[in-house]
Structure 1
Amino acid sequence: MMTPERIEEIKEEVRILHPEMQVIVTVAEMKWLLAALEEAQQPPEKWEHIARTERSIHMTELAEAQQTIARKQLYIEKLECSREYAQEAADKISKEKGLELFEARQTIARQQRAWQELKDIVSTNATGGKGEDINDYDIMLNIMGDLEGDQP
């Protein structure tokens, strides 16, 4: 700590300065400047200790930040993998359902052709083309017409 005599010496040195060099300094500012001067005069070991402590703190923070980044990168990779898996599964389902739909349409088309062939046969017989009992075929034709009307 600076002695009152040293403070007075500093004030006298400031008064002796050329008028342009003089600076008006409050007591609080002077105390702050003196504290800064005292701190600057500390032995290098203290500054080295402070620097090591600060470095240690920053290295710890850096390690934690790197671990956080690594965890988030792993999480992102898992999300991307999950998204790709979900897309592949959706594509597979879409292909399977598309194939099922295609097969169902083919089956419907075959059944419609078979139905039309049967209907044509019954219609021909109902009009007397085969020499069978026309009434039985006429009844069958009416039933088939009713069934066609019930289809969605």
Structure 2
Amino acid sequence: MSEGHQLVIYTDGASRGNPGPGGYGAILMWGEKRKELSAGYRLTTNNRMELLAVIVALESLTRQNIPLTIFTDSQYVVNSIEKKWVDGWIKNDFKGGKKNKDLWIRYYKLAKNFSIRLKWVKGHADNPFNNRCDVLATQAADKGPLLIDEGYEREIALK
């Protein structure tokens, strides 16, 4: 539950095969209000969907400079942000083949507008909001309609 007027966001991403069809799910909670977001993609990766869930949740917000906590079961997302790896990747223009440049740049620009606290939660465990995000993500991947992850498909076409 959200404490007072703290925005709480849960996110999850999924990929059927890695790469394969994928999807993301997010739940935004403000007091008793809930908003669910999800979408599926025809070809993507799990890490891209984990990160895209965070990005789409942030992009959906109409107010900036509010404190928010994002819960994710992705160590990739938490470590990249909390350990400031993404800062280094951006500074070095993703040298060394760091993946998901398009999404990290999108996140980085958005994150400047918020006071974000990230928290890792164990996936597929007893957290009902994380589990709901997993359902949203996998249903989006399985049922579609499937969108095109243009950043990923452009990246693999260049290889």
Q: TM-score, normalised by structure 1?
A: 0.16
Q: TM-score, normalised by structure 2?
A: 0.16
Instruction: For CA contacts below 8 A with separation 6 or more, give which structure has more relative contact order.
Output: 2
Q: Which structure is larger by alpha-carbon Rg, 1 or 2?
A: 1
Q: Which has the higher helix share?
A: 1
Q: Which has the higher strand share?
A: 2
